[in-house]
């Protein structure tokens, strides 16, 4: 039966699971005019402004993709952009008070964790996380090269479960 997920290739299962998680998280974030991509950018900016290019590298997306994410956040009043004084070619992205407030209000770590533990027994989550980290690190290195490992910019996103030892 082609529609039976137990018969799907592992890659298809992983891709579908990731897409469904994104949809569920995006539905939650929509109350703040956010999506998963914009939410992650708001967390990256907590430590201070970053160049739009650096955000793209940290999020492992193309510059044009990050530009669209930042434009949406800017329209919502969550970030502001300005040219760097030292290098006018660089665009710095700053978190606004409204962006910090929306991020904090929408970032329920318990909700994010429940999205996983409702489907996977809590005792199995650490093993699942180890496998997912391995997949991300390997595939990111294959795509982006070893110069910027996937773990180079640790997330302060409260929606991301704590790393397991």
| Domain spans, the chain | 9-152
Q: What is the mean pLDDT of residues 11-17?
A: 91
Instruction: Kindly write down the DSSP assignment for every residue of 89-108, as one continuous string.
Output: T-EEEEE-HHHHHHHHHH--
Q: What is the mean pLDDT of residues 139-151?
A: 65
Q: What is the overall mean pLDDT for the chain?
A: 84
Max alpha carbon distance in the chain (Å)? Answer: 60
Chain segment 64-108, per-residue pLDDT in tens: 999 999 999 999 999 999 998 888 888 899 999 999 999 999 988
| CATH 1.10.287.1080 assigned to 9-152 | no
């Amino acid at each position: 039966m082609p529609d039976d997920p137990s018969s799907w290739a592992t890659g298809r299962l992983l891709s579908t699971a990731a897409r469904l998680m994104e949809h569920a998280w995006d539905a939650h974030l929509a109350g703040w005019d956010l999506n998963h991509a914009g939410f992650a950018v708001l967390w990256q900016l907590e430590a201070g402004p970053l160049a739009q290019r650096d955000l793209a590298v940290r999020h492992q997306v193309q510059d044009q993709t990050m530009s669209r994410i930042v434009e949406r956040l800017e329209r919502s009043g969550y970030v502001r952009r300005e040219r760097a004084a030292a290098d006018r070619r660089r665009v710095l992205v700053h978190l606004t008070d409204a962006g910090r407030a929306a991020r904090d209000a929408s970032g329920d770590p318990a909700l994010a964790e429940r999205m996983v533990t409702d489907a996977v027994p809590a005792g199995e989550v650490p093993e699942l996380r180890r496998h997912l980290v391995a997949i991300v690190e390997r595939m990111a290195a294959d795509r982006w090269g070893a110069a910027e490992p996937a773990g180079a910019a640790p997330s302060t996103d409260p929606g991301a479960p704590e790393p397991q030892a």
